[in-house]
Amino acid sequence: MKPSTNQDERFWDKIAVKYAQKPVADEAAYQQKLEMTREYFTPESLVLEFGCGTGSTAIAHAPFVKHIVASDISGEMIAIAERKAIAAQANNVLFVRADLTELPDREGEYDVVMGHSILHLVRDPQAVMSRVYRVLKPGGVFVSSTACLDEMGFWKLALPIARAFGKAPHVNIFSREGLISEMTGQGFDLVHQWQPKKGAAVFLIARKPIGNGE
């Protein structure tokens, strides 16, 4: 694990149990995101999720795809996810303790890559998006849901203070437009964008072109 992620890893390990017990803030929006994502699945789909947390999304999608690799930097989160997968008999989900850049770098391996509530937390979002682009098959899609904290003035002021006292992880302050610009700058074509309400996470589906920008 990279030294720069150690503080973040400790933060997420510490809150893993409470995180797992916390209900989804907007269940209707979450279910709609699941349904929109499944439009891009087939029974043969190979899927990667990074920043999987306690595994709920990967497990929910497991019946609709061939195989899912789901990773997170928190060992405690992964341990909870593995227990949940056993209980759900989600035998086609492999949970891995790692960040995205530590996973095997095999170009064009996945049909779908998911990154939910994670792009605003990674240390180098440009490098992460570049890796996502690389491991996707041509025509594959990147499905993400990201808090754009530029819309939330309070958090822009409070987060640096909370971070200094170990009460918050590293956070990137994205605007919606900035996030989309970062993604298209990596070569993705934006297919769909949705925000349930102002201040909610921005849900994006972006496609890796099939050669020569087609």
Q: Measured between alpha carbons, how far is 213 from 9 in angstroms, rounded to an integer?
A: 38
Estimate the crossing angle of helix 125-135 against helix 176-185, to 10 degrees.
Answer: 50
The answer to whether 116 touches 57, Cβ cutoff 8 Å, is yes
Looking at residue 23, its pLDDT comes to 87
Query: Within a 10 A sphere around the Cβ of 25, how many other Cβ atoms?
Result: 9
Q: Measured between alpha carbons, how far is 77 from 54 in angstroms, rounded to an integer?
A: 5
214: in domain: no
Q: How wide is the angle at C-alpha 82 spanned by C-alphas 78 and 83, nearest 5°?
A: 120
- For residue 7, give every residue at least 6 positions away whose Cβ sits within 8 Å of its Cβ, in sequence order, or none: 166, 169, 170
Per-residue burial over 185-201, b = 16 or more CB atoms within 10 Å of its CB, e = otherwise: ebebeeeeeebeeeebb
Entry pTM: 0.87
Strands 189-194, 202-207: parallel, antiparallel or unpaired by DSSP? antiparallel
212: in domain: no
pLDDT, one tens digit for every residue, the chain (214 residues) = 443 457 788 887 988 898 888 888 899 999 999 999 999 999 999 999 999 999 999 999 999 999 999 999 999 999 999 999 999 999 999 999 999 999 999 999 999 999 998 998 888 999 999 999 999 999 999 999 998 875 555 455 545 544 544 555 566 677 889 999 999 999 999 999 999 988 889 999 999 999 754 4
213: in domain: no
Amino acid type, 107: E
177: in domain: yes
CATH code: domain of residue 102 = 3.40.50.150
47: domain range?
A: 3-207
Closest C-alpha among 135, 74, 133, 78 to residue 105: 135
Total domain count, the chain: 1
Looking at residue 161, its pLDDT comes to 47
81: in domain: yes
The answer to whether 137 touches 113, Cβ cutoff 8 Å, is no
The answer to whether 150 touches 179, Cβ cutoff 8 Å, is no
35: in domain: yes
What backbone torsions phi and psi does residue 205 show, to the nearest 5 degrees?
A: -120, 120
User: Which single residue is written with the structure tokens 């709609």?
Assistant: 32
